[in-house]
Structure 1
Amino acid sequence: MQNPAAYAHPERLAACFDRAISATACKTLLETKRLSTRLSHLIEKRYALGAERSAEEAIGEEDRRVALLPPDAMAEVAMRAGVTYWASAFAGAITGSEAAPLRREFGEELCAYALANKDLAGPKQELDPVDTARERIASDGWRCLAAWCHVVGPAAGTRFRLKLRPMALLDEVPSAALLEIGPQIIRRVAGQGRA
């Protein structure tokens, strides 16, 4: 992850130019091999990555597995993290009247996943209304990723964020509850190899 131009999302590069260059143009720049070194230096300067190189190498194997996840796996990682964080609510609903709508909304596999990882559940929350539960649960999954980014430190956390488009859920510091359990959830999701 030493060459940020190789993996940075075009919108992250656009921020280096204060959005004077569009994300589309930045995508073209990132695809231009001869600019890679200069763009990497620009990204490192903008996101203060230069001094963090040795710290990045100090992360453990579990965190390295997370750091190397491809960007296209992140939506699934966030959803699996979210259902794990909400697992207490899933456990209460599986046998109650919410079971059928919950299974329709999330599918059998995600419901089973939540129950299998209930040991890492966050505080009990209400699923109602079920029709907005998917959005709330996915948001908490992204917050779990943000918590992981925060606890692994700027070297790995900032470089990880560079792979994804800017989003408040990922870029802001999450709540204390999520900071405590979110990184553990993310490590488990990544370790199970489903993403």
Structure 2
Amino acid sequence: MSERAPEFRVGSVLATSFTGTLTERCGTPVERIPTPARLADWLSEMGLAVDACSPADLAAATDLREAIHVAATAQALGRPHPRDAVDVINAASARGGAAAALTRDGHRRWLLGRPPTVVAALGVVATDAIEILSGVRPGVLALCASPTCRAAFLDTSRGRTRRWCEMNTCGNHEKKARLKSRHG
């Protein structure tokens, strides 16, 4: 891996954006949070800035990310959520201790405590995953149609027919590959 880590893929859904910190899961995986500092960067980008991030925090984050991915994949395939994944998600949510706050301009932000901790931030991510996996948020979980990606995403399109985790990445790669095969 180069000195510089790959850019984050940031979507509108916190929990699935978090699972997207490991991409190309069925190809050559790309780890976007390989260090505690990169995890802190991602959390900051998502509005969950923390004061410090340790290797243990990174390990807990990786465990949560994989549990969310496993549960989302199972749901997208019409299967029950695996017990181990559910336990990890629930434990992270319970440990979190973050509180939602209303801003003066009518938006929600998260209060992660003093000092703001990774545990609290991961609790927010786990809570978002629970809202998605339990059906509280509108949409259906789907898997990217790219055979190398297979990322879970929340499809909120009108007909629930979205095929790609991101059109700018996987969708464009597939379109280019089809065009090349036709003209190659």
Q: Give the TM-score taking structure 1 as reference length.
A: 0.25
Q: Which has the higher contact order (CA 8 A, sep 6+)?
A: 1
Bigger strand share:
2
Bigger helix share:
1
Larger radius of gyration: 1
Q: Give the TM-score taking structure 2 as reference length.
A: 0.26
